[in-house]
Amino acid sequence: MSDASSMTVQENVPTESPEEPQGKKEAARGLWGDAWYELRRNPIFWFASFIVLIVVSMALFPFLWTSVEPGECYLSRGRQGPSADRWFGYTFLGCDMWSKVVYGAGKSLAVAVIATITVTLIGVGFGTTAGYFGGFTDTVIGRFTDIFFGLPFLLGALVFLAIVPIRNVWSIAGVLSVLGWTSLTRIMRGSVLSTKNKDYVDASRALGAGSRHIILKHVLPNSIAPVFVLSTIYLGVFISAEATLTYLGVGFQQPNATWGLLIQEGQPWATQGYPHLLVIPCAFVVITVLAFILLGDVLRDALDPRNR
């Protein structure tokens, strides 16, 4: 065969570009990219996210869900059960139950978000400081954390809120924050302890980087994942805590619209032939808390390399 025909045959042969092994492609995604890859394939993640999205939209845009004001009450229709016109019935004062539930999501979620952000900042700050610097600093922060660990969460919240003159979103969230940061601090400290001796941290230290640069550039980004998981679960825990404290009489007071107040008002009537007054607000609390806990569980599984 001539050289010209040989060159023509070679030119017509398709060339295949080398591909990276599948393992390298997955590794190149990084921790958060790999977590998103796992999350989007998990139906529980989408179910929990859907519930959370509904609750958040109720809290931010209640007018999209109901056109009835929560204060629009008529005693003549008090305690009426669910019907074709009103699927959730009326409260014992004759207020539209659905409207109360929708507007009640706002304050419950506001308390949970403020408290979660606060305990996350405190936990990350104390945990990072204790884990990175160690020694005397770790001992002081550890003993300070133990003091707050000795305060029972629910009992402490009851006592503190009982002496607070004004009970609003900020005071309730503040009390929950004061008592709820300890576990996050210990989680963050343990994560920092396992990260600060990694090779990339030692290399940065050898190049002359200061503690602030190392913490912000290397330690925090690689230690924060467990905190995100726990913070997601805390959102549900604080919603439940707010409802419990309000039910016990030390949370929100009338004329606020919250899920805890609906449970408090409906409990005496539940055994007198009006179960919807208690079941409906309890159902919304349970479903919302469950959604946040499920979201935290799937996030934990996605961020843990041992599960893959």
CB 160 within 8 A of CB 241: no
> What mean pLDDT do residues 65-93 have?
78
pLDDT at 307: 54
Q: What is the phi-psi region of residue 17: left when phi exceeds 0, alpha when psi lies from -120 to 50, beta otherwise?
A: beta
Phi-psi label, residue 217: left if phi above 0, alpha if psi -120 to 50, beta otherwise: alpha
Residue 5: pLDDT band by 50, 70, 90 thresholds?
Answer: very low
Provide, rounded to the nearest whole percent, the portion of the chain with pLDDT above 70: 88
User: Rounded distance, CA 177 to CA 163, Å?
Assistant: 16
CA pair distance 64, 60, nearest whole angstrom: 9
Q: 29 to each of 19, 25, 249, how far by Cα in Å? A: 16, 7, 50
Domain definitions of the chain by residue range: 31-68+80-307
- Please, which residues have CB within 8 angstroms of residue 216's CB and are 6 or more apart in sequence? none
135-174 pLDDT per residue, tens: 899 999 999 999 988 888 888 999 999 888 888 999 999 9
Q: Rounded to two decimals, what is the model's pTM?
A: 0.82
Over residues 53-67, the mean pLDDT reads: 92
Q: Tell the CATH topology of 31-68+80-307.
A: MetI-like fold (1.10.3720)
Comparing C-alpha atoms, which of 235, 237, 233 is closest to residue 301?
A: 233
Span 224-258, pLDDT tens digits: 888 989 999 999 999 999 999 999 989 888 888 88
Decide: 213 and 222 in contact? Cβ < 8 Å. Answer: no
Q: What is the 3-state secondary structure (H, E, C) of 38-76?
A: HHCCCHHHHHHHHHHHHHHHHHHCHHHCCCCCCCCECHH
Instruction: In whole angstroms, give the CA distance from residue 226 to residue 229.
Output: 5
